[in-house]
Amino acid sequence: MNYFAYKNGVLSAEGVSLETLAREVGTPFYCYSSATLERHYKVFAAALPKDALVAFSVKANGNLGVLKTLAKLGAGADVVSGGELKKARAAGIEAGKIVFSGVGKTRAEMRLALSEGIYQFNVESEPELEALNGVALEMNRLAPVTLRINPDVDAKTHAKITTGTAETKFGIPFVHAREAYKKAASMKGIEIVGVDVHIGSQITDMEPFEAAFNRIAGLVKDLRADGHAITRLDLGGGLGVPYEHDNDPPPDPAAYGQVVARATAALGCRLIFEPGRLIAANAGVLVSEVIYVKHGDAKTFAIIDAGMNDLIRPALYDSHHEIVPVREPGVGAARINYDVVGPVCETSDLFAANRPLPALKSGDLVAILSAGAYGAVMSSAYNARPPAPEVLVAGDEWGIVRARQDHDDLIAQDSIPIWLRD
Ligand code: LLP
């Protein structure tokens, strides 16, 4: 459920017409809906125990406007770098609600997180544990730690976003878990607080979650028998969202909440979740203008002014995003199959192949839907194209939450070395 809908024949974000925004900020641009972010956060939180920590996964959308919207609802943050940690803090998220994930935390990032006083480190390997112990001792601190355990469960999602199988780089293998906890318990700078698991992203089947959570619940019992005080269980993120209107929607948060409850209710742990996509994906669209319609020999191309540098998901994962005209098409309007492409000089700069759409012409606006997660955050300036700016809407209000860079900004990022200067 989201708050993008046609109003008076024009696609709008809550009370704001995307046509008006295009006139005001130019195209392409991202537009996020606060009401949608809020709704997704609340529906998810309502499916979980009241004292659970919902730590929004900042990697999905790190815009300060988005983070602040969620912070005001009580969200925490799941961060994977010092930069994300700083952004979460800058958006007003309390350090005590921040968890730090990732396989390659540097010592500098550990120092930063310890000095901020974050809620926990989700440690992914024994070398990382040793490094964190060293940093904590140097700082005379105790680092609160969960170990991320790789349960070797296939999440049945895209290979590039599967993280819970033995072949991936993530977590400590399930079979080494008890040994790793024993080692952690012997370290003076480490305080074991719980167990962490995250098996992948865009998961649309409850069965892998159930298998992973049951495995981890069994481990919690073993760890307690070994004498460890396990009081927290971080179950990661990963719940999928509907990208294709014609497909069955993925299970809703309530179904997920039931799976969680079945596996964990008896443990008495505080639960932590790290949803990203579920909160942000359908709270954002990428609006773009058709530059040309080109009739090729085999295909008709709608060439739009957003490119793979703005939204890389289709090129990287062959992912499907619905594309709709901003002007509402008439009922029963004829459809033409378009390849919707960007201006970037690569064949992979393709948003949709053979997509039936109402007839498009130069100057028309289109919206690429479900672009609020892993959209702007993954953008680049490839082809020296400044990435699309971001706009946040709340009711009838809107604000630019990341401005468009101009070409001079891009040029100013580089410098000419001394021997090449005129
Ligand atoms: N926690 C950890 C440790 C993660 O690695 C991730 C995502 C999340 C939470 C949030 O997962 P979510 O709830 O958003 O599924 N760029 C890809 C997705 C990469 C996901 C990486 N990890 C995409 O565009 O599909």
* Alpha-carbon gap, residue 68 to 130, rounded angstroms: 34
* Alpha-carbon gap, residue 345 to 353, rounded angstroms: 17
- The DSSP annotation for 224-259 comes to HHTT----EEE----B-----TTSPPPPPHHHHHHH
Q: Which pLDDT value is given to residue 300?
A: 98
* Alpha-carbon gap, residue 55 to 322, rounded angstroms: 28
Q: Which tens digit of pLDDT belongs to each residue from 40-88? A: 999 999 999 999 999 999 999 999 999 999 999 999 999 999 999 999 9
**For residue 375, which of 65, 107, 29 has the smallest C-alpha distance?**
29
Q: Could you tell me which residue, 298 or 162, shows the higher pLDDT?
A: 298
Ligand 1 center–CA 57 separation, angstroms: 7
Residue 242 banded pLDDT, cuts 50, 70, 90: very high
Residue 247 banded pLDDT, cuts 50, 70, 90: confident
- Contact assessment for residue 289 and residue 364, using Cβ atoms and an 8 Å cutoff: yes
Q: Which residue has the tokens 């001394």?
A: 418
Mean pLDDT for all residues in the chain = 97
Q: Which pLDDT value is given to residue 156?
A: 81
The answer to which of 83-97, 167-181, 240-254 has the lowest mean pLDDT is 240-254
pLDDT of 228 above 80: yes
Residue 309 banded pLDDT, cuts 50, 70, 90: very high
Domains along the chain with CATH numbers: 4-31+281-412 (2.40.37.10), 102-273 (3.20.20.10)
Q: Is the CB of 275 under 6 A from ligand 1?
A: yes
Residue 245 banded pLDDT, cuts 50, 70, 90: confident
The backbone torsions φ and ψ at residue 395, rounded to the nearest 5 degrees and listed phi first, read 65, -120
Q: Which pLDDT value is given to residue 388?
A: 98
Q: Which pLDDT value is given to residue 96?
A: 98
Q: Which tens digit of pLDDT belongs to each residue from 256-290? A: 999 999 999 999 999 999 999 999 999 999 999 99
Q: Is the CB of 201 under 6 A from ligand 1?
A: yes
Q: Which pLDDT value is given to residue 177?
A: 97
* Alpha-carbon gap, residue 210 to 207, rounded angstroms: 5
Helix-helix angle 253-264:34-46, to 10 degrees: 30
Strand partners, 96: none
Please state the atom number of ligand 1 nearest to the C-alpha of residue 148: 3
Q: Which pLDDT value is given to residue 158?
A: 81
Which ranges constitute the DSSP H helices of 156-251? 177-185, 206-225
CA angle 307, 83, 391 (to 5 degrees): 45
Residue 163 banded pLDDT, cuts 50, 70, 90: confident
pLDDT of 380 above 80: yes
pTM here is 0.97
Helix, strand, or coil here: 361? Answer: coil
Q: Which residue among 201, 204, 205 is best mutated to probe the pocket of ligand 1, counting the most ligand atoms within 8 A of its Cβ?
A: 201
The mean pLDDT value for 355-376 works out to 98
Q: Is the CB of 274 under 6 A from ligand 1?
A: yes
Please state the atom number of ligand 1 nearest to the C-alpha of residue 158: 25
Q: Is the CB of 198 under 6 A from ligand 1?
A: yes
pLDDT of 159 above 90: no
Residue type, 422: D
Residue 162 banded pLDDT, cuts 50, 70, 90: confident
Residue 371 banded pLDDT, cuts 50, 70, 90: very high
pLDDT of 167 above 90: no
pLDDT of 365 above 80: yes
Of 225, 345, 384, 420, the active-site residue reads 345
Q: Which pLDDT value is given to residue 166?
A: 79
Q: Which tens digit of pLDDT belongs to each residue from 85-117? A: 999 999 999 999 999 999 999 999 999 999 999
* Alpha-carbon gap, residue 306 to 289, rounded angstroms: 8
Q: Which pLDDT value is given to residue 1?
A: 86
The mean pLDDT value for 334-341 works out to 97
Strand partners, 148: 196
CA 277 remoteness from chain centre:
5
pLDDT of 137 above 90: yes
**Ramachandran assignment for 201, one of left (phi > 0), alpha (psi -120 to 50 degrees), beta (any other):** beta
Ligand 1 center–CA 81 separation, angstroms: 14
The mean pLDDT value for 329-340 works out to 95
Q: Is the CB of 250 under 6 A from ligand 1?
A: no
> Which structure tokens are listed for 41?
């956060």
Active site residue 269: no
The answer to which of 220-224, 244-248, 337-341 has the lowest mean pLDDT is 244-248
**For residue 402, which of 31, 52, 84 has the smallest C-alpha distance?**
31
Ligand 1 center–CA 209 separation, angstroms: 15
Q: Which pLDDT value is given to residue 246?
A: 81
Ligand 1 center–CA 99 separation, angstroms: 14
